[in-house]
Structure 1
Amino acid sequence: MLKQRCSRSWPWSRSAGVPLAAWLYAGLVGCGGPVSEAPEPGAEVAEQPQRLLTQVTGFGSNPGNLQMFRHVPSGMPANAPLVVVLHGCTQRAASMEGSGWSAAADVYKFYAVYPQQQSGNNMTSCFNWFEPGDIARDRGEALSIKQMVDTMKATYSVDPSRVYVAGFSAGAYMVPALLAAYPDVFSAGAIHSGGPYRCAESMTAGFNCMSPGVNRAPAAWGDLVRGAYPGYAGPRPRVSIWHGTSDYTVNVMNLTEAMEQWTNVHGIDQTPDTVETVSNFPHKVYRDGAGNALVETWELTGMGHGVAMDAQFQFPGGTGTAACGAVGAYLNDVNLCSVYHQARFFGLLDGGGEPTGDTTPPTVNVTAPANGATVGGTVNVTADAADAVGVTRVEFLVDGEVVSTDSQAPYAFAWNSAAVGNGQHRLGARAFDAAGNQATDNDTVVTVSNTGSPAPVTAQFTSIAAEDGYLKANADGSAAALGFMTNLALGRGTDGKYNRSFLSFDTSGLPDGATVTRAFLTVTYSSGSGDPWSTPAGNTLVIDVKTGTFNAANTEAADWAGAAAASSVAGIERFSAGAKRSGDFSAAGLSAINKAGKTQLRLRFTQAQTATQYLFVRDGANAVLTVVYTP
């Protein structure tokens, strides 16, 4: 029998431009008492398709009033694993399919269950991770999710020793609740952009939990977990913890506190036994005396609030369609597939236990030009790369800087050697395989000789933060209410205006007689709200150039629609972490760079967004205009 829940309300509306952090825990206190009913074996299952998911009803008393969706791959073996996947605020069950879990299930043959929150419980569809009645054993939403697992066990051949849970954001805060309340059900879990169990037990406490975070001693955190199931003496779940270091919605401090909680639960110290870099991200592993990996952390340098994924990654052993998700809202392409690495940690790739997957890096070699060659003009740079699992991409480097990427063999790019000065330069190639291993060949040295013209000079200009604008966060140009979105915003505001970011540079240091031969802009990701690239489909980010500034005084709101000296001079590819370099400016863009004063760049999306959505980028020293010229 379904237990009726209290109705909930929240004084803010989504259209009011409330920062994402507020929506992570929007909703008022629930009202469910203890319920211990479990589903009957063979419970009736009513099914309705939803994309790749099928809805399941009749899965027990469901005191949390959640919805259940599941994905069952074809050709499932007996005693297969099961993974529960929890979405974040404003998301639905199908949103987390985009992270790659259903595709991984098809390749590695495990069942996937997707609980879904209802707006009647929480108006922004957040799991109620801050409600004591929803995170305790045999109560509320925690029990509803456990009943979904029980229903899968009663319906399919599920190995009860291989049941796992993974979640993002509000769903990630529910992961430790399930691990703490049901260590007899879940063998491992993955916390992606969440925090420790019982970090908050009220809506108000949720603010401090998310940002700046709650600091407790490891033993105090561990006691909270041990108190969730008093008297339990069995094995505790292993935990994988993921967090973007530039997450301004849930502070990265939560990664440290969660690590301290679960290492203490396992009775091990907080000093990592393995420290390595995978796809340029720090990865730490905490082991017991026997060498078993019990806790791991992944620090996603420069990434904001989202799920780490790699749109080019193919799950080893799968077909060409078994990709690691697709870029979307809160799905950040950082060239690292979190689903794959979490599945490895769970043991889904290797039949259980700590994964022993591919750790062998690919081979890579620059094949042209030859080491010691003298080159000039446009040079065809090529590389060979191979791997037993599969090469996902090859990055080309000039003097250690990535200048091009190729994901298809034969790996090559056309290098304009005139962009660098005459003399010796080092060419390199870095290959990545499907398991995240990488290797670099960086021993090709060539001599550039471009005669008949002076050697080019490279100048860099950082943006003038005081003149950049006009929007720092809110639609009226004011600072964000919670203070963690203080950079420039591109997209659509609540006032219906678009593309409001300008970057100002003092380029008067260029010689009056200089000939500008190349220019590009480098911007740094701050955070995001929604996905302005995808709505409408095919949206692109481009740069306009103004010789001088759009306004003789301070940049104002109306200037976003002003005329530029050159429009759409270069594009910036979709990115959700770190720094991104634009393409080279067009000839018109080069001519518009002002050698006598200031140059202003306007960043805009080519199409108007269909909803309030922002990409936030940093200004000041984090926005750099690079200009190559000949005196």
Structure 2
Amino acid sequence: MKRTRTALAAVLSGLLLVTAWAALAPPAAAASLQEVTGFGDNPGGLRMHLYVPDTRPAEPAILVAMHGCGGSGTGFYSGSEFAALADQYGFIVVYPTATKQTAMGNCFDVWSAASKTRGGGSDPASVVSMVEYVERQYGGDPDRVFVTGSSSGGMETNALLALYPDVFAAGSVFMGVPFTCFANEADFPPQTSRCVNGAMDRTPQSWGDSVRAAYPGYSGPRPRVQLWHGSQDTLVPYQLLQEEVEQWTNVFGLSQNPTTTDRPQSNWERKRFADASGTVRVEAVTAFGAGHSLPQGGMARLAVEFFGLHQSDPGGGTTPPETTPPPTGGCTATVRTVGNWGSGWQGDVDVTAGARALTGWTLTWTWPGGQSLASSWNAQVTASGSTVTARDVGWNGAIAAGQTRTAAWGFVGSGPAATPTVTCTPA
């Protein structure tokens, strides 16, 4: 059974000075992204940013949205559509930032024993503290708490759904891996990992047992799960989508055969797994032709619809009128190395608008020597010899005047790590 406010108050009364101090922290300002410190128990050392829409109901729903390796909460805020959807439907968005450093950059912990144990500490416990903060400070509805994430954030989403089924009502996982896929920290980097080397294959029963063991004795309702993966993903192999499906359908006691299959868009195939009552408990969406580049335009909305948040009452307030964006102007871009594991490296590209807002961008550079792209996400990329050209994919093209979209797109490179000079051209 989901937590009630009475039960929550009883728990909070035992948290002594730490929680009492956190409760004094001022709420973040509405309609802007604000950092929250002192939100409560934080064994994972995460940072917390919060987006509270101007118009929301008295008991708003809560969505936790988590970035991939090398990213940040602020970057996922600016690089995804969840805040705009929050404005439309009146839910609050929590954007955690991971601080665990790996060969892939800062990533959410899904490998340690603590991250696989309910109440064990590390990042999952920190995220739950963030949720409890929003419930206290903004009257967040404990029965409508949801979680989503991309890559490392998607992996953490699976962990949270397994460890805290009494906290989260549903989750949407972009480019994730099954819960307990990584054996330990040494298994996490891609060149040594059994999890992401393309050969991970456990039985549905084994995967399901991992979830059940995360919260022994739990007999309450399980959160519904939506799973996304690109068919051409080589960083987190597409094959792992099937392993995730096997894990969650086994947890729900469902058949491995989908109840229905459809195409929300021409290049998306959605398989739905419903229970005897017709309620969809698991759905898996393949983005054909996509690499490690999710979420793309429209995917966040489908996730919000899966949660049921599109039916929310935003509180009866007014929606600010649409304004015509200013004409596009100049832009600049820089490449940052956020992970280097010897045989390869990960780069993020930050794009900054000039005096006028951007509606799109094209980036070009020439490798200094010996580099090439192994995979890429959040951009349409072509390569000719040592020259690389990347264009935005729509949702990440709009950047306000003078603002920077951190990790506007990213890639995995081969050869020695490099920071080439980038030419940015507005669309």
TM-score strictly above 0.5: yes
Map 1:8-407; keep pairs closer than 5 Å.
Answer: 40=19, 43-45=23-25, 52-97=32-77, 98-118=79-99, 124-138=105-119, 139-206=121-188, 207-280=193-266, 281-310=268-297, 337-351=298-312
Looking at structure 2, the residues matched to 560 and 293 of structure 1 have their Cα atoms a distance apart, in angstroms, of 48
SS of corresponding position for 1:295: strand
SS of corresponding position for 1:309: coil
Looking at structure 1, the residues matched to 305 and 259 of structure 2 have their Cα atoms a distance apart, in angstroms, of 18
Looking at structure 2, the residues matched to 44 and 216 of structure 1 have their Cα atoms a distance apart, in angstroms, of 47
The alpha-carbon deviation at position 257 of structure 1 amounts to 0.5
The alpha-carbon deviation at position 61 of structure 1 amounts to 2.3
Residues 1:573 and 1:195: Cα distance change in structure 2 (over 3 Å):
closer
Looking at structure 1, the residues matched to 222 and 276 of structure 2 have their Cα atoms a distance apart, in angstroms, of 16
Residues 1:63 and 1:121: Cα distance change in structure 2 (over 3 Å):
farther
User: Normalising by structure 2, what TM-score?
Assistant: 0.70
Give the residue type in structure 2 aligned to 1:223: D
Looking at structure 2, the residues matched to 221 and 258 of structure 1 have their Cα atoms a distance apart, in angstroms, of 8
Partner of 2:391: 574
Residues 1:542 and 1:191: Cα distance change in structure 2 (over 3 Å):
closer
* 8 Å contact kept, 1:46–1:57: no
Map 1:409-420; keep pairs closer than 5 Å.
Answer: none
Partner of 1:431: none
Looking at structure 2, the residues matched to 86 and 347 of structure 1 have their Cα atoms a distance apart, in angstroms, of 19
Residues 1:215 and 1:81: Cα distance change in structure 2 (over 3 Å):
same
Residues 1:612 and 1:576: Cα distance change in structure 2 (over 3 Å):
farther
Residues 1:87 and 1:560: Cα distance change in structure 2 (over 3 Å):
closer
The alpha-carbon deviation at position 263 of structure 1 amounts to 0.7
Looking at structure 2, the residues matched to 272 and 64 of structure 1 have their Cα atoms a distance apart, in angstroms, of 37
Looking at structure 1, the residues matched to 28 and 103 of structure 2 have their Cα atoms a distance apart, in angstroms, of 23
Residues 1:542 and 1:121: Cα distance change in structure 2 (over 3 Å):
closer
Partner of 1:527: 375
Encode CA deviations 1:523-582: one digit per residue, 9 max, x unaligned.
xx973178698xxxxxxx798xxxxxxxxxxxxxxx869xxxxxxxxx9883779xxxxx
Encode CA deviations 1:345-381: one digit per residue, 9 max, x unaligned.
01101249xxxxxxxxxxxxxxxxxxxxxxxxxxxxx
Aligned residues: 331
Looking at structure 1, the residues matched to 383 and 238 of structure 2 have their Cα atoms a distance apart, in angstroms, of 31
Looking at structure 2, the residues matched to 492 and 306 of structure 1 have their Cα atoms a distance apart, in angstroms, of 22
* 8 Å contact kept, 1:531–1:613: no
Residues 1:529 and 1:343: Cα distance change in structure 2 (over 3 Å):
closer
Question: Relative contact order (alpha carbons < 8 A, sep ≥ 6): 1 or 2 greater?
Answer: 2
Aligned-residue identity in percent: 34
Map 1:460-479; keep pairs closer than 5 Å.
Answer: none
Larger mean Cα displacement after TM superposition, 268-277 or 235-244: 268-277
Give the residue type in structure 2 aligned to 1:283: R
Looking at structure 1, the residues matched to 239 and 254 of structure 2 have their Cα atoms a distance apart, in angstroms, of 20
* 8 Å contact kept, 2:31–2:51: no
SS of corresponding position for 1:84: strand
Query: Which is helix-richer, 1 or 2?
Result: 2
* 8 Å contact kept, 1:70–1:112: yes
Structure 1 unaligned residues grouped into runs of 5+: 1-35, 311-336, 353-479, 483-489, 502-524, 534-540, 544-558, 562-570, 578-609, 615-631
The alpha-carbon deviation at position 192 of structure 1 amounts to 0.3
Looking at structure 1, the residues matched to 225 and 139 of structure 2 have their Cα atoms a distance apart, in angstroms, of 25
Larger mean Cα displacement after TM superposition, 222-231 or 125-134: 125-134
Residues 1:290 and 1:560: Cα distance change in structure 2 (over 3 Å):
closer
* 8 Å contact kept, 1:285–1:296: yes
RMSD: 3.4
Partner of 2:398: none
* 8 Å contact kept, 2:90–2:312: no
SS of corresponding position for 1:183: coil
Residues 1:232 and 1:123: Cα distance change in structure 2 (over 3 Å):
same
* 8 Å contact kept, 1:127–1:171: yes
Give the residue type in structure 1 aligned to 2:234: Y
* 8 Å contact kept, 1:164–1:188: yes
The alpha-carbon deviation at position 99 of structure 1 amounts to 1.2
Encode CA deviations 1:226-275: one digit per residue, 9 max, x unaligned.
10011111000100000001111000111101111011111111110110
Looking at structure 2, the residues matched to 611 and 257 of structure 1 have their Cα atoms a distance apart, in angstroms, of 36
User: Normalising by structure 1, what TM-score?
Assistant: 0.48
Give the residue type in structure 2 aligned to 1:338: M
Residues 1:119 and 1:267: Cα distance change in structure 2 (over 3 Å):
closer
1:611 aligns with 2:419: yes
Give the residue type in structure 1 aligned to 2:62: L
The alpha-carbon deviation at position 213 of structure 1 amounts to 4.4
The alpha-carbon deviation at position 128 of structure 1 amounts to 1.4
Partner of 1:368: none
* 8 Å contact kept, 1:122–1:128: no
Encode CA deviations 1:142-174: one digit per residue, 9 max, x unaligned.
111101111111111211111000011111111
